Each structure stands twice: as C-alpha cells, then as structure tokens.
Amino acid sequence: MLRLLGKLYGLGADARNALYDRGVFRSHSLGARTISIGNITTGGTGKTPLVACVANILADAGEKVCILTRGYGRKNERERVLVSDGERILADTRTGGDEPVELSRDLFRSNKRVVVVADADRVAAAKWAKEKFGITVFVLDDGFQHRRAKRDLDIVCIDATNPFGSGRVVSAGMLREPLKNLKRAGAIVITRSELASDLDQLRAEICRLCPATPLFVASSELADADSGASVQLLDVGLSAFAFCGIGNPEAFFESVRRRGYKLKGTRAFPDHHYYTQKEFRQLKREAYECGANLLLTTWKDNAKLQELEVTNDTTELNIPCYAATLVTTIDDEREFGALITSS
C-alpha cells in the first residue's frame, strides 16, 4: 500500500513539474537574482547551514540579501513575519519560526546584514521586501519544489548519511519527488560528507544521475555557538547528554562524538519541537541519572530554550546546558563562490 501511495505521489509530482515546464503553471520572477537551496528528500539534510553560507558569500560580494523562508512550525504560517531587517532580530521562534530565527542569529554572529522574511507566499514576500529594503539577491530556503518562484540557480543538498531515502517517494520512502528530477538542479552539494560511509561511491552515483551538473562536497564542523565558557569545555573531557529536535538528530549526535565528547545519553524530539519547562527539567534529570556533566544541544534548539520562562524552583538540578552550531565548509570554495556570485 505504501509503495502504491509513493508511486501515486511521484506521478503527481511529475505531472506538476510537467505543467511548469510547459508553461501551463507560471513561475514568477522575484524582481532580483534568485538562488534556491533545497532538498530532494524529506528530513534534515544540512540545508540551513548551507543557506547561511550562501548568504554570507553574497553579502561579502556587496549584495543586499534577503532570505525567503516558509518558517515551518511557527504559530501562524500564513502570516508574513519580518524575522530580521538586517539590523535587529524582530521575532521570537514561535512567531518567526525556529530555523528563520536561527539563521538570523547565525548571520548576526558573522556580522552580516541580511534580511530574513518568513512567508508561505514567497512571491508576494519578495515583492514586499524588494520595495522596502532594495534587495538585490534573494535566497530561497527549501525552494527546490517551490517552482512558483522563478530562480537563477537551483542548489540541491544531498545528505551523505542518507542520500536518497531508500530511493522511494513518500509515503513509501523519503524522496519528495522521483530521483530522476534531480537533473533539474543547477548544482548539487553533498552535505555532512565527514559522516559518509563511502563518499566516493556516492559521488559516482550522483555523477551517473547528473553528469553535467556541478557537484560540490561540504563538511560540517561542530563549533561553539558562543565565545564564552563553552569554548573552555571542549578540551576537558567532560561527559554530555545530548538532545535536539531537528530533522536528522543522529547526524548531530555523531558530530558531537567526533568532536571528542563522551555521550552518556541522547534524546531526540520531533523536528521544530518547542520545549516546556517540565521537559527541560526532565532532560536535566536524565542527564544527572546517567552521570553526565552537562547538557548539549543545537543552536536551533537553544533559541527555543532561551524563550522558556525562568522558574525559581530550588529543587531543579544545576546542570549547565550548552549550545553548538554546525559550520559548513565547501571543498572548492573559490569555484562555489564564483557560481553563487555569477548565477
């Protein structure tokens, strides 16, 4: 039954793409150069750090950059929210979405003035942002299937830890559309290459599917989200209890292990999960009971934890919680940068 549903979903995706290819469905120009970064599979693929990387490259080239994102998991996905005007972060995670807020904070840490807008209607949002901020380049977050917005470059992320999600379309697998449609990409980036079981084989498979498409390899390094005490903790061999609510939690846990932490335990929540004070207390209890010295989570999760109401419960365990972020590095930075700035 799942295979049948997957086949039907794939046929629907192909029919929709054919209507766009033939001009029956119209793609709308956003009024400025547009770069899309997306996936062909569901779940986390390391796309968000790549969005930040591309925005950094464009900002360094002197462009006025706007990231357009749907902002999954926020309170009202139909509402347009200006998450950042490039000068300030103007929304919390429930209003603007956890990933848009994470992106905004990440760009602020690198001193990049990038506008971030959360809106399901990215065509209308682009028109508004261009008039308000004089945008010269748009970056579409999760835009490979969003063909209503015309783009100059389509970048697709392939997660090295689970490249093609069993090769079947949802609901039978994790593909958002049949794998043959990967040929629509203008560039492909293998993400989390440091966690690949056989990177050469994966490269060969992608080159077989898309022999003419530029292929890049990206690695993600676990870095400290702040420049404070957490920097000192990395070299003292303390044990940690790691938790997160992201699309690919195991990739985060493995990155933590590779950084040298001894993981006493882990806990995965659904993607875009919003924590309660009770859950956070329970996480501290689990960490204490398994002998961990600290809690470790992602920057995306930490943004939501910081918005919890602080309680004065004297019985609460005093276990510190630190946040880490993933920094993406491209194997051929010069060629990738040239592609981004000239598309």
Q: Is the pLDDT of residue 234 over 70?
A: no
Q: Are 69 and 116 in contact (CB under 8 A)?
A: yes
Q: What global pTM score does this model have?
A: 0.89
The pLDDT value given to residue 203: 96
Query: pLDDT band at 317, cuts 50/70/90?
Result: confident
- Count the Cβ atoms, other than its own, within 10 Å of residue 5: 13
**Amino acid at position 215, single letter:** L
**Pairing, β 215-224 against β 321-330:** antiparallel
Helix or strand or coil: residue 71?
A: coil
Q: Who wins on pLDDT, 214 or 8?
A: 214
* CA distances, 119 to each of 20, 73, 104, 194, 335 (Å): 22, 12, 15, 33, 32
Q: Work out the end-to-end distance of the chain between its first and last CA atoms, rounded to an integer number of angstroms.
A: 43
CA distance 338 to 255: 29
Encoded tokens for 50: 């790549």
**Amino acid at position 168, single letter:** R
What domains are defined for the chain?
A: 2-221+328-342 (3.40.50.300), 225-325 (3.40.50)
Q: Is the pLDDT of residue 232 over 50?
A: no
